[in-house]
Structure 1
Amino acid sequence: MAAVAADNPMVGGAAMYADKNIVENAVNSADHTTLVAAVKAAGLVDTLASPGPFTVFAPTNEAFAMLKAGTVETLLKPENKDLLTKILTCHVVAADAMSDAIAGMIADDGGAHDVPTVGGCTLSAKMSGDTITLTDERGRTANVTIADVKQSNGVIHVIDAVLLPAE
């Protein structure tokens, strides 16, 4: 098993295994406990454990903590499941897109590439030096802090902000 994880970066203090799916790896990351709780509350575990492929832009606990006080607690309530699902699926693309491919699309499109998500949001991907940035429909920007974490059903890119759909 160790050889399988050797090519992948550590995330949240945990080894990420390319032969495990997105959910199986995410539950081991200490930096993604809020995201995992949100995925469970939204009922998306089975979806993100399915064959995919998916590219997930995974906000850290710190990213969720930057939202207005009480936002996460409110979103985790059962009556807000639809909004929570919309927000989470705005972090998921129905493709296996490694960072070099994303950077190539950005270059091919003249510096900005529209990224349609499974949640119906469109993110704008750009480069800031060697870092991929994503801007949501509200103008909020997230940086990819750990790229290319291979999964059996896609790839995770860790980001430092929560992306939101247009209001």
Structure 2
Amino acid sequence: MKKLILSFTAITLLLFAQRVKAQDIVDVAASVDDFSTLVTAVKAAGLVDALKGEGPLTVFAPVNSGFAKIDANTLNSLLEPANKEKLGAILTYHVVAGKLVAKDVAKALKSGKGKATLTTLNGGTLTAVSKNGGIYLKDANGNYSKITKTDVMASNGVIHIIEDVVMPK
């Protein structure tokens, strides 16, 4: 009887697991309160479908406090439909094609003597830099954003959490 119950439980769990769809990058971001500004921006820029796509993608996702460092008038202006293209360029500057997990970035930093250049979806570059005991992204303007959490997995890639919004030229 115990074997029958155990078998039934295992089959039920297997069937349930097959029905649960893995969350994509947008779903993961939407499930985290500290990404609410990012999710609003992704929607305003019309990038939801792109970030729900097959991938794989690596997203360096700024938290709400990072967006709060941007002047409120500037941020509100970026969220307007007239600035959809500019907002899209900023957001795609946070995305790299392929799935780069933390160990990949660490390996690139080691082979690059503490630096690794990443090409973003908007065609710009970010430089991953090892400094002050952490890993930072240096944007095209020379500003740094610390990577605070790595390897938040999604069905179509990976998210690394950063403290600040990085900006293209």
Match of 1:108 in 2: 111
Q: Does 1:46 align with 2:33?
A: no
Compare CA radii of gyration and give the structure with the larger one: 2
Q: Give the count of matched residue pairs.
A: 150
Q: AA paired with 1:74?
A: S
Following superposition of structure 1 onto structure 2, how do residues 83-122 of structure 1 map, counting pairs within 5 Å? 83-122=86-125
| 1:132 positional shift | 1.6
Matches of 1:145 and 1:100, distance apart in 2: 15
Sequence identity percentage: 43
Following superposition of structure 1 onto structure 2, how do residues 60-71 of structure 1 map, counting pairs within 5 Å? 60-71=63-74
Q: Is the 8 A contact 1:18 1:151 kept in 2?
A: no
Matches of 2:135 and 2:73, distance apart in 1: 29
Correspondence for 1:160 among 153, 160, 163: 163
Match of 2:29 in 1: 26
Question: Could you tell me the TM-score, scaled by structure 2's length?
Answer: 0.85
Correspondence for 1:55 among 41, 48, 58: 58
Correspondence for 1:145 among 143, 148, 168: 148
Q: Is the 8 A contact 1:56 1:92 kept in 2?
A: yes
| 1:69 positional shift | 3.0
Matches of 2:133 and 2:53, distance apart in 1: 31
Alpha-carbon deviations, 1:5-48, whole Å to 9, x = none? xxxxxxxxxxxx99210011111110010000000000000000
Cα separation, partners in 2 of 1:82 and 1:133, compared to 1, 3 Å: same
Gaps of 5+ in 1: 1-16
